[in-house]
Structure 1
Amino acid sequence: MTEQRTDYDSPWKEVIEAYFPQFLEFFFPLAYDAIDWTRPYEFLDNELQQLEPDAEIGKCLVDKVAKVWLLDGEEVWVLVHVEVQGRYDIEFAKRMYTYNYRLFDRHEKRVISLAVLADDRENWRPDRYGYELAGCRVSLEFPIAKLLDYEAQWETLEQTTNPFGMVVMAHLRTKATPQNPESRLQWKLNLVRRLYDRGYSREDVVQLFRFIDWIMVLPQELASSFKQVARSYEEASRMRYVTSIERLAKEEGIVETSRENAIEILETRFGYVPSSIVEAINGIDRVSVLKRLLKIAIVIGSLAEFQKVLDEMPSAE
């Protein structure tokens, strides 16, 4: 059984935006306690494109920049980096340092750099970058949250009312079941059932269901079973919280259209499209990935380059 492609970056971006204070409270309480949450915060994602305009196409990271106010009245910027694909990256600490000083240089605002690591290497915990030369020393130390550590805190994840308890459980069980779709189905149903048992608000149920459904990808036959059971949970709760079931049906049509659009663009630009590319595109079932491929198809220089993009896509995407 091959691993189901999972879009990690889009769900994480969405859930961080939806629950930014809870994100910091869960992973980085020192940063949370320093911020004045009575004042509005603002995401500044356009800054990321200016920090690294030539970023590698298809590289799956979650970077968020937010402008916040400290309790002492100072305006600072929070740079959040989530290594969502969970791969060892020797340049990770250097990139954290580079983003930090570029933000400071551009805006002369102090920057809080934070990192969430979702890799599978127990001992890989980069939390600083620096160098010393001829008596000159520069360095950056930054807090990290290692998702692997939460496996030993599973009971705490189950008990917390912070939405990121549910987010971390879904992420860990997705990473643990790449070739066991039956097990993933049972965990997915278990987590959805918890949404109803925890007494979340309607908005929280919808948002967290969306994350769980989005990240825990299932084969088509098991996805149908999931829909049926999830719908029975809704009926048992006597409230139609999870409008995402209807969204799933609608998304199936969007996926098919997105595949056709990407292939049609390639045919229009290059004529014959090899079956290897067609099969690869038809094997992708996440709208966000297909949208990115469509944009690439419009500007890519050749079919060989497009095939390279497909080959270099993380298998978990």
Structure 2
Amino acid sequence: MPIDHDAIFKELITNFFKEFMELFFPEAHALIDYSELTFLAQEIITDITAGEKHYVDILASVKIKREEGYVLIHVEPQAYKEADFARRMFIYFSRLYEKHKKKVLPIAVFSYDSKVEKLDRHEVTFPFLKVLEFNFYKVQLKKLPWRKYIRSNNPVAAALLSKMDYSPKERLKLKLEFLRMITRMQLDPAKLGLITAIFDTYLGLSPEEEKEVEEMLHRELSAEEVKKVMELRTSWHTKGWQEGWQKGLEAGLEEGRKEILLKQLKKRLGFLPPEVEERIKSLSLKELDELAEKIFEVTSESDLRKFLGMEH
């Protein structure tokens, strides 16, 4: 089964948005007020000239300290090379700015395996006039040296360690340092399972390599660190690492989407009764996606109850 890069990055960033900004964009992070952070429903942008529809999955609404009103932060994960990507980022920016009439901070996350420097701007110029210079933040993961991040306590750094720059012979050491990192993090099992699942999905060790890591674990980690790793395994209630990672990813996907949907519905309707919240928390991933697609049709508690099958 092919990796759904967009879904992985969406779940990681929506679950750890503050940590994502702190890790990669500390200057912006210092001025963001996260107290009223919300994620907007998926945006569809139609390119009439190309006859295509594009989806903007990650669109956050936040406040900037000492500024009035809200601003939007658009994060675009890019898992493949695209010659005209900067132009597409500008089109997304333009449509979002036009629709919401708010400042938009655009961010691109390049996750494919290339160290070729990617542009972070789109220009429209003439020999006699520069009409436009559009700039955006970027993260090019393959240009980041993994060893620079192993002392970090940031869960986003841990999850993306296996997408950074390392040599094939460093794969086992990379896994070992990842395990050391997660022993320092105070995260609930679902979120810890999510970052572990993402790390493992991209590293892709074989069962034989996992056994080698197991031997290294007892040789190179302290007794306290080994004990903590064992406790974390138990907390995920798994029979083995591979099963645990998959369950962790699935749990993270579900929990992340439930949290976002609940925030959106509370903002839209003002209040949700406890029994409605519990019903939403019981939805499957497929049902959560269906509700997300219909969220703009939900204008009252009655509409929501009808969708959830709670009306008699």
Task: Give, in whole Å, the separation in 1 of the partners of 2:210 and 2:114.
Answer: 34
Q: Secondary structure at the match of 1:122?
A: coil
**C-alpha distance in structure 1 between counterparts of 2:210 and 2:116, whole Å:** 39
DSSP 3-state at the match of 1:160: coil
Aligned to 2:144: 150
For 1:103 and 1:68, how far apart are their aligned partners in 2?
Answer: 15
Shift of 1:18: 0.9
For residues 130 and 164 of structure 1, do their structure 2 counterparts lie closer, same or farther at Cα, with a shift above 3 Å needed? same
- For 1:253-277, what per-residue CA distance to the aligned partner results, in whole angstroms no more than 9, with x for missing partners? xxxxxxxxxxxxxxxxxxxxxxxxx
1:210 and 2:194 matched:
no
Partner amino acid for 1:168?
L
Contact 2:150 2:177 in 1 (8 A): no
Cα pair 1:129 1:140 within 8 Å, conserved: yes
Give the Cα separation in 2 of the matches to 1:88 and 1:235. 37
8 Å contact kept, 2:38–2:60: yes
Rate the CA distance shift 1:194–1:135 in 2: closer, same or farther, 3 A.
closer
| Letter in structure 2 aligned against 1:75 | Y
In 2, distance between residues paired with 1:26 and 1:216? Answer: 21
Structure holding more strand per residue: 2
Which residue in 1 is equivalent to 2:298? none
Confirm or deny that 1:92 pairs with 2:90.
no
1:255 counterpart residue number? none
- The equivalent residue for 1:241 is 235
Aligned to 2:133, the other structure's residue is in SS state: strand
The residue that corresponds to 2:52 in the other structure is: 54
Relative contact order (alpha carbons < 8 A, sep ≥ 6): 1 or 2 greater? 1
Report if aligned partners of 1:9, 1:62 keep a CA contact under 8 Å in 2: no
Residues of 1 paired with 2:160 and 2:188: CA distance? 20
Distance 2:239 2:36 in 1: 33
For residue 132 of structure 2, give the secondary structure of its aligned residue in structure 1. Answer: strand
Structure 2 residue 111 is matched with structure 1 residue 118: yes
Per-residue CA deviations over 1:80-110 (Å, capped at 9, x if unaligned) read 1222x2x432111101101000101111111
Q: Spell out, residue by residue over 1:217-254, the C-alpha distance to the aligned partner (whole angstroms, 9 max, x if none).
A: 345x4488599889x867743872334656954969xx
CA contact (8 A) 1:7 1:215 kept: no
Q: Provide Cα deviations, 1:149-207, integer angstroms capped at 9, x if missing partner.
A: 421xx44301111112212312227x855xx8xx64663354234312x2433345333
Q: State the match for 1:29 in structure 2.
A: 26
RMSD over aligned CA atoms reads 3.8
Q: Deviations over 1:124-166 (max 9, x none)?
A: 2211112135757123111222223421xx4430111111221
- What code does the residue aligned with 1:42 have? T
Residue ranges of structure 1 left out of the alignment (5+ in a row): 253-290, 292-317
C-alpha distance in 2 between matches for 1:123 and 1:23: 23
Identity of aligned residues (%): 22
Aligned counterpart in structure 1 of residue 8 of structure 2, from 7, 11, 30: 11
The TM-score normalised by the length of structure 1 is: 0.60
For residue 80 of structure 1, give the secondary structure of its aligned residue in structure 2: strand
Contact 2:45 2:95 (C-alpha < 8 Å) held by counterparts: no
3-state SS of paired residue (1:23):
helix
1:81 equivalenced with 2:76 (yes/no): yes
Is contact 1:192–1:212 with CA below 8 Å preserved after alignment?
Answer: no
Q: Secondary structure at the match of 1:170?
A: helix
